[in-house]
Amino acid sequence: MLDTHARKYVQPVIGHTARLLLKWGLTPNQVTWIAFVIGVSVGYWIYADLPIIAVAVLWFSGFLDAVDGSMARLKKQTSPWGTLLDITFDRLVELSVIIGLAVKYPDAQLLLLLLTASIVFSMTIFLTVGALTEKKGMKSFYYQAGVAERTEGFLLFTLMILLPGLLLWSTGLFLVVETFTGLQRMLEARRILREPD
């Protein structure tokens, strides 16, 4: 939801950074890889009991993840390969956070496993609709908006990392929001793809 409706407020900073990195000679895919390498380390920082670093690294990685797309659009270099890298690396960063939390807090492992299942559910619908529909958005495929987009996920991950005493509650909240988003996308998909009962 925030990615869809609040992007315009942070886009000037993202765009400025994209132009700066292009001026430095970096390509969009190189920035995608940098964001991934930084982001996938979050699980380690959680396990090392350095939650502030974990959150800072998570958000910096997410910022670069937004910048790479702006770079590609500025250079008119959007590509299916770049989209594949972006989506795959996003999920691996999320898995790094979940694995770090699961190893650090064994009591939350079942709920974290259910959260992972809800992310798989929601992303399966998201990616399938993107592949099947002829509609296109700002990205190289149709982007289904929902209650839980990347920013909401980062906010909930931040709560989970910084407030371990509330980990079960924040994970449960994330699970509910992610499942709701999957159902929301399923209903929209039924309308978009015009499948009869």
Q: What is the pLDDT of residue 191?
A: 84
Chain Cα centroid distance, residue 19: 23
CB 66 within 8 A of CB 12: no
Each as own residue / partner, the long-range contacts of residues 120-127 (CB below 8 Å, 24 or more positions apart, any chain) are 121/178, 121/179, 121/182, 122/146, 122/148, 122/178, 122/179, 122/181, 122/182, 122/185, 123/91, 125/182, 125/185, 125/186, 125/189, 126/185, 127/87
| Residue 139: domain span | 2-193
Tens of pLDDT along the chain (197 residues) come to 555 656 777 889 999 999 999 999 999 999 999 999 999 999 999 999 999 999 999 999 999 999 999 999 998 888 889 889 999 999 999 999 999 999 999 999 999 999 999 999 999 998 888 888 766 554 555 666 677 788 899 999 999 999 999 999 999 999 999 999 999 989 988 888 875 55
Domain containing residue 55: CATH number: 1.20.120.1760
Distance CA 94, CA 171 (A): 13
At residue 148, the pLDDT reads 72
H/E run at residue 155: helix 150-162
Number of structural domains the chain divides into: 1
Helix, strand and coil in the chain, % to nearest 5? 80, 0, 20
Cα dist from 153 to 24, 27, 95, 175, 194, whole Å: 31, 27, 12, 10, 30
